[in-house]
Structure formats: structure tokens, C-alpha cells
């Protein structure tokens, strides 16, 4: 994807969001000039950026939207409800198009022209003072054939000039009398690539005897490599006589067009400059630490005593360790982005849905200071959209029902993100009718999701969880908004892909809360793979202090357990097979054993394994369902050979072990 487009796809959504926020706020305070200004600037910038690409459908919509906002800004019109609605629809469509552009790498969907014409006529109607639909300004068709012809005639190379600025200037007949010289204008255009000067109708015969040299009859067409604004400069006094556009040559037919990339948006990250500075500082410190090691090597070559060398080496190693740790955290921090911009994209979504359903709904979002991994933020838009639409559609009652049950007519949905330890919790709460467990039981029974006997055994909370089952829907009529067969199961699957979980709770008559729990970052976990009793397990590296090979004569029985001395400290030795409840028969006495030394609380504990298999970087999947209640299991991961690897939480495993295998003799000298 070309760089310009990449940049546009980063900035475009931000501008759409700014415009959208201002427009939503305008509904509440239509006289706020600052809001109009904010929306105008955002749309104006967007329109300018869109002009750089061959996106006429999008450009036309933004053009009319800008005109309308301009009319408000200059006080020529005042914002009306219908006008704000039309503009919100336009920004919403622009956002969808930006999504499509990101997915396809530069193309709009096939229906873009029709959708665009629709929006343009809607906006134009508002702009023209609600004139009848038939009087709507038809979408202006921009004729670019002359650009193409000029480009071809000059034999310009499409690869060298992927985008050119094209200008067509048809001076009016009296221009010479105003002192305008079209040739002088053309001369002032920077980076000229092509210039064609013709008579307006080159084929028309000329009456030589009666020729009027002062009735301007010229048409000037030119191409330039300079930016739109730069080319426009010399023609700024004749804006009504020029056609100015940014144009890209169509791909040369002989070179195959690369297939559109799969629907994965551009992966880029905006990083706060301060974080990069911090990284640079850390790297400087690393260089210093490295030099200190070189010094030590020199000193040792000069005959430094091994004892002293070991002491210095240990100090420097500790310093290096701290540095690497900080470097790691800093890099992880760079991937963290605020979640609030994502949440702020939803008020328009809720509003659109509510209007379509004839409901009145406010959405409040909160997530100040919550930061999550960028990949997670990117994966949340879809499931949250679905949850919010569901809430508006199924959760919120009709206005009449609400009033009848003594609730305020305007419903309230809150979307709140907050951090809890290593996780971020996102709660979608509505004050609607709540979920009725009895109705869900009926629906589940009718769809044969579970046998009646099992259904009866479920508690009400467990019944609510059934809505996450594939193919479950309690809506009598599958509505256009939340239906289409995509239910809550899709939400659970999407959140699960991010390593998260979803839970639902509800109070009949008072509302429903859906809670998403997600890890703060989706990064690789380093695990050590060990073998025990013929099975392989993973142990997270960050919990491992060291690995040890223990000679049998160093192992001493202490009470019911065993221990060995590791650098003047007695370390209990627990068999992993025993902790896992596996058979310990395979263990041989009298041969050295292998142990992973981990820190549990403040103490070291050695866990005996049969073999070390190796280290792996894995994406840890948290456990779901019944397994999630198992102590001592962190999650699972798929190994390269397709085997499922259980990753163990060793401290949890030890804590859950029955008393007789609990560590003994901890801390004894």
C-alpha cells in the first residue's frame, strides 16, 4: 500500500471521529460555534486528503458536507435536526469506507457510487433549504478523460508519476480586459509535466477577416507533479473558471493487479516521542554496560584474581539484568494505546441504531487512562459494536414500555473500561428490561441446545450463559440490526481470539451487564517445555529462577519430603508428576535428577521433572469452561507439531497440592 494512503488511513478515522463527536454534541447545543468549527475543520481536512486519491464517491460526499458546515460556520444557515442527522450519516458512511479502504488496500465497495449519490442528494437538499427531492443537485460528474489523454500524449510514465495534479482552465471571454493572461498563469505553475493550449473548439472554422483577438478563446489544460494547493495558487482569482483535481493513472494492463490483501487493516503504531526517547536512553545505558564488560575482560587478561573477577562480573550481570528488564517493559509499553478513542467511536453507532429502531438512547463511555495492547484494541470494535446494537435492540424497551414501567423515556447504556491487575475489564451495561431466565430456558429447550434434564439442573446464572451458545437467539423477529445469524457466540469467539472471556449478568426489569475481560497485552510468553511421565508441559520462564541438575547424594529426605542444598539454602524438591497427580513410578533412584527452581512467595522451590525439552515463545490461551476453575493451570498453547501444551502455574499447583506434598523445611539453613 502506498505511503500516502497508509498515512491517510491512520489520520482519516481520527478526523471522522472528531467530526462525529462534534456533530453529536451539536444535537445538544446547536448554537455552539466551536463545535461547528471543529466539525468543519475535520471534514475539510478529510476532503483535502481524499482528493489525493482516486475516490470520487467519497470526495463528493465530503464536499457537500463541507459546504453545509461552511454555511453554518458563516451563519448563512443554522443547524437543524435533519441536517445534523444527514451529516452524521455522512460521517458514518465515511468511516465505513475508510474501513473498506484499509481492508482492500485502496478500493471502495461496488455500491459506493450509489450510496454516495444518495448522501449527496440528502445533504444538498438540506443545503438548498429543504427543496424538493427532484431539485437536488445531481452528483457532479467529474470528467477526467482529458487528463488521461494529456497524460498519454506526453508519454508520462505512470510508475514515475503515480499521482498528478490536473488543472483545466477555461478563461471567460472578457478575461483580457481584466488584465488576466492565461499563459502567464500557466507559467507560474510549479513542476509542470504537461501543458496543452487549444482553442475552445479547435475544429470550428476561423473567420480570419473578422477575428477578434481580444475575446478569449483559449482552453489551458495542464498536469503538474506539485500538490493541489501549489497548482491552484496562480489561479486563485479565477476559482470559478478552473477544474482542479488530483489524478492517478489507471494501472497498466500488462502488469497484473495484485489481489486485494485479506481483510486486515494496516498495521502501524503511533508512538509518543517520549517513549522513543526513553528507549534511546536505555540503549545508551546498554552500550555503557557492554563497555563495562569489555573493561572486565581486559582486567582479567591483566591477571585480576578470579574471586574479584567473579564479584565484579556478578555486579555487572545484575546491572545488565535490570537494564534488559527495563528495556523489555518499555518496549511492551509502546504497544499499549489508550482505549478511549475506540470507545468514543461508539456513540454514533448507538445513535444510528436507536434512530433506526425509534428508541431514545444515550451512551456514556468512560475509560480514562486505560491502556491496552494495540492488537487487542483493534480486535474489539466488532464485538463491542455487536454488544451495543444488541443492547439497544433487545435490551432497551420501547419508549412506551419504559414510560409504562416508570422508567425515564431516554434509556442509558454505559460502556466503561477499567484496569484490574493485568486485565482490562470492559462492561456494557443497559438499564433495559433485563433477561428472563425462564424465557431463555424455553428457547434453549425449543432449539434443543441441551436436554431438558440438564437445563433443569442449571442455575439462573448458568442459563444466562446459554446465550453465548452458537445459534441462540431469543428475539422473536430477527431484526435487521442484530440478526443475520450472528449472535452472542460470535462475540465470545471474537473476545476469545484476543485471549479474553465474556460473562453476562442481568436483573429482570433493571438491565443487563456484559463484561469482557481481556489481557492488557497479547504478547508472546516464554515457556520452558519439560517432560514428565511421558507428557510435555510448559512452565513460564519468568517464574523460573534456574534449572538444576541434582546428584542423588545431595538429595536429603526431610520429614515427608525431600530437599537439597542449593548455594547454602535448603530447597524443597517436589516431583512434578506428584503435583499433577500422575504416576511417579517411572522415577529412578540413584540417578541425577533434573529440577526447575522457581520462586514461590519469597522462597525457592525445586520441581523435579524427567527432562528439559527446550524453550518456546508461545501465545498463551486462557482456559475456558470447566478447565478455567482448575488450579495450577495458566492456559494452553498449540505447539508447532499440533500438540496441545498445558502451561502450568507452578505456585498455584503447589498451593493446591494436598498437605503431604507441601514444601517442607523451607528456609532452613
Partner 1 sequence: MTVEVEGTVIRLRGACAAEDAEILLSRLQAAPESEIDVTACRHLHGAVVQVLLALRPNVRGMAEDIFLRDWVIPNLAAGR
> Cell 497440592, residue?
657
Residue 157 Cβ vs partner 1, minimum distance, rounded to whole Å: 18
Nearer CB in complex with partner 1: 176/472: 176
Q: For 444, left (φ over 0), alpha (ψ -120 to 50), or beta?
A: alpha
- Nearest approach in angstroms of CB 165 to partner 1 is 16
Residue 161: which residues within 8 A CB-CB, separation 6 or more? 151, 193, 225, 249
Report, in Å, the least distance between residue 143 CB and partner 1: 21
Shortest spacing between CB 166 and partner 1, in angstroms:
15
Shortest approach of partner 1 to residue 230 CB, angstroms?
17
Q: Hey, what's the cell of 273?
A: 516521542
604 sits in which H/E element? strand 603-609
What's the rounded Cα separation, in Å, for the pair 470 and 487?
7
Give the max Cα distance, the chain: 125
Dist. CA 442–CA 463, nearest whole Å: 10
CA-CA distances (angstroms) from residue 156 to 28, 152, 243?
Answer: 53, 6, 21
- Measured from the CB atom, the residue of 97 and 169 that comes closer to partner 1 is 169
Cβ closest to partner 1, residue 199 vs residue 329: 199
CB 202 within 8 A of CB 171: no
The least distance separating partner 1 from the CB of residue 231, rounded to whole angstroms, comes to 14
Nearer to partner 1, 160 or 567 (CB): 160
SS (H, E, C) 421-484: CCEEEEEEEECCCCCCHHHHHHHHHHCCCCCHHHHHHCCHHHHHHHHHCCCCCCCCCCCCCCCC
CA distances for 492 relative to 461, 623, 628, angstroms? 17, 13, 15
Beta bridge partners of 99: none
Q: Please name every residue paired with 365 in a beta bridge, in sequence order, or none if there are none.
A: 415
Nearer to partner 1, 176 or 381 (CB): 176
Lookup: cell for 646: 498445558
At closest approach, how far in Å is the CB of 268 from partner 1? 40
Pairing mode, strands 525-532 and 535-540: antiparallel
Nearer to partner 1, 238 or 565 (CB): 238
CB of 183 to partner 1, least distance (A): 5
Nearer to partner 1, 204 or 629 (CB): 204
Question: Which parts of this chain interact with partner 1 (CB under 8 A)?
Answer: 171, 175-176, 180-184, 186-187, 192, 195-199, 202, 206, 208-209, 211, 213-214, 216-218
Q: Which is nearer to partner 1, 174 or 298 (CB)?
A: 174
Least CB distance from residue 147 to partner 1, whole Å? 17
Q: What is the DSSP string of 136-196?
A: SPPPPPPP-HHHHHHHHHTT--TTT-SSEEEEEE---TTGGGGT--HHHHHHT-SSEEEEE
Cβ contact 594:548 at 8 Å: yes
Nearer residue to partner 1 within complex by CB, 87 or 189: 189
Q: How far is the CB of 152 from partner 1 (least distance, A)?
A: 14
Q: What angle do CA 643, 648, 649 make, to 5 degrees?
A: 160
The SS3 of residue 624 is coil
Q: Which is nearer to partner 1, 217 or 489 (CB)?
A: 217
Task: Give 213 or 591: the residue with its C-beta nearer to partner 1.
Answer: 213
**Inter-residue contact 621 to 499 (CB < 8 Å):** yes
Helices (H), 29-134: 33-50, 56-73, 81-104, 112-127
CB 339 to partner 1: min, Å: 55
With respect to partner 1, which residue has the nearer C-beta, 199 or 439? 199
Q: Provide, rounded to whole angstroms, the least separation between the CB of residue 225 and partner 1.
A: 14
Amino acid at each position: 500500500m502506498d505511503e500516502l494512503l497508509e498515512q491517510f488511513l491512520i489520520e482519516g478515522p481520527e478526523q471522522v471521529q472528531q467530526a462525529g463527536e462534534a456533530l453529536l454534541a451539536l444535537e445538544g447545543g446547536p448554537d455552539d460555534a466551536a463545535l461547528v468549527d471543529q466539525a468543519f475543520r475535520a471534514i475539510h481536512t478529510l476532503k483535502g486528503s481524499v482528493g489525493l486519491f482516486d475516490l470520487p464517491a467519497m470526495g463528493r460526499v465530503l464536499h457537500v458536507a463541507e459546504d453545509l458546515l461552511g454555511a453554518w460556520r458563516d451563519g448563512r444557515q443554522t443547524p437543524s435536526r435533519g441536517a445534523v442527522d444527514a451529516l452524521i450519516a455522512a460521517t458514518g458512511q465515511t468511516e465505513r469506507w475508510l474501513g473498506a479502504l484499509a481492508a482492500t488496500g485502496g478500493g471502495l465497495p461496488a455500491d459506493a457510487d450509489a450510496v454516495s449519490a444518495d448522501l449527496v442528494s440528502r445533504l444538498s437538499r438540506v443545503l438548498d433549504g429543504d427543496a424538493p427531492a427532484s431539485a437536488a443537485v445531481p452528483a457532479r460528474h467529474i470528467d477526467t478523460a482529458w487528463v488521461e489523454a494529456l497524460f498519454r500524449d506526453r508519454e508520462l510514465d505512470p510508475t514515475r508519476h503515480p499521482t498528478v495534479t490536473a488543472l483545466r482552465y477555461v478563461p471567460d471571454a472578457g478575461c483580457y480586459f481584466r488584465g488576466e493572461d492565461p499563459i502567464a498563469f500557466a507559467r507560474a505553475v510549479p513542476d509542470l509535466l504537461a501543458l496543452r493550449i487549444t482553442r475552445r473548439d479547435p475544429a470550428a472554422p476561423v473567420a480570419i477577416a473578422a477575428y477578434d483577438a481580444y475575446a478569449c478563446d483559449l482552453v489551458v489544460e495542464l498536469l503538474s507533479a506539485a500538490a493541489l494547493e501549489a497548482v491552484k495558487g496562480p489561479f486563485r482569482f479565477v476559482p470559478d473558471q478552473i477544474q482542479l483535481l488530483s489524478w492517478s493513472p489507471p494501472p497498466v494492463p500488462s502488469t497484473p493487479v495484485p489481489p486485494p490483501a485479506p481483510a486486515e487493516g494496516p498495521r502501524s503504531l503511533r508512538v509518543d516521542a517520549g517513549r522513543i526517547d526513553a528507549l534511546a536512553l536505555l540503549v545508551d545505558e546498554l552500550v555503557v554496560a557492554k563497555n563495562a564488560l569489555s573493561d572486565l575482560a581486559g582486567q582479567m587478561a591483566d591477571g585480576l584474581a578470579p574471586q574479584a573477577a567473579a564479584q565484579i562480573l556478578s555486579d555487572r550481570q545484575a546491572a545488565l539484568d535490570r537494564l534488559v528488564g527495563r528495556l523489555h517493559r518499555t518496549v511492551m509499553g509502546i504497544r499499549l494505546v489508550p482505549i478511549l478513542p475506540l470507545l468514543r467511536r461508539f456513540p454514533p453507532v448507538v445513535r444510528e441504531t436507536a434512530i433506526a429502531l425509534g428508541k431514545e438512547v444515550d451512551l456514556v463511555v468512560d475509560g480514562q487512562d486505560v491502556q491496552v495492547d494495540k492488537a487487542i484494541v483493534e480486535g474489539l470494535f466488532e464485538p463491542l459494536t455487536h454488544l451495543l446494537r444488541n443492547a439497544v435492540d433487545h435490551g432497551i424497551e420501547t419508549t412506551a414500555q419504559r414510560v409504562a414501567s416508570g422508567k425515564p423515556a431516554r434509556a442509558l447504556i454505559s460502556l466503561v473500561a477499567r484496569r484490574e491487575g493485568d486485565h482490562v475489564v470492559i462492561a456494557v451495561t443497559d438499564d433495559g428490561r433485563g433477561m428472563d431466565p425462564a424465557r431463555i430456558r424455553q428457547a434453549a429447550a425449543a432449539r434443543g441446545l441441551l436436554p431438558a434434564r440438564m437445563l433443569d439442573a442449571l442455575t439462573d446464572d448458568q442459563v444466562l450463559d446459554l446465550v453465548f451458545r452458537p445459534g441462540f437467539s431469543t428475539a422473536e423477529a430477527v431484526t435487521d440490526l442484530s440478526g443475520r445469524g450472528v449472535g452472542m457466540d460470535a462475540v465470545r469467539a471474537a473476545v476469545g481470539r484476543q485471549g479474553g472471556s465474556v460473562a453476562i449478568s442481568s436483573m429482570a426489569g433493571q438491565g443487563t451487564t456484559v463484561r469482557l475481560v481481556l489481557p492488557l497485552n497479547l504478547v508472546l510468553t516464554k515457556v520452558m517445555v519439560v517432560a514428565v511421565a511421558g507428557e510435555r508441559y510448559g512452565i513460564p520462564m519468568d517464574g523460573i529462577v534456574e534449572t538444576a541438575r541434582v546428584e542423588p547424594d545431595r538429595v536429603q529426605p526431610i520429614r515427608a519430603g525431600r530437599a537439597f542444598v542449593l548455594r547454602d539454602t535448603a530447597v524443597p524438591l517436589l516431583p512434578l508428576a506428584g503435583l499433577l497427580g500422575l504416576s511417579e513410578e517411572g522415577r529412578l533412584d540413584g540417578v541425577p535428577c533434573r529440577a526447575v527452581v522457581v520462586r514461590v512467595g519469597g522462597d525457592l522451590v525445586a520441581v523435579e521433572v524427567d527432562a528439559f525439552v527446550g524453550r518456546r515463545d508461545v501465545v498463551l490461551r486462557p482456559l475456558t469452561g470447566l478447565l478455567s476453575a482448575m488450579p495450577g493451570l495458566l492456559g494452553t498453547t498449540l505447539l508447532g507439531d499440533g500438540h496441545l501444551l498445558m502451561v502450568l502455574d507452578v505456585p498455584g499447583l503447589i498451593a493446591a497440592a494436598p498437605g503431604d506434598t507441601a514444601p517442607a523445611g523451607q528456609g532452613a539453613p
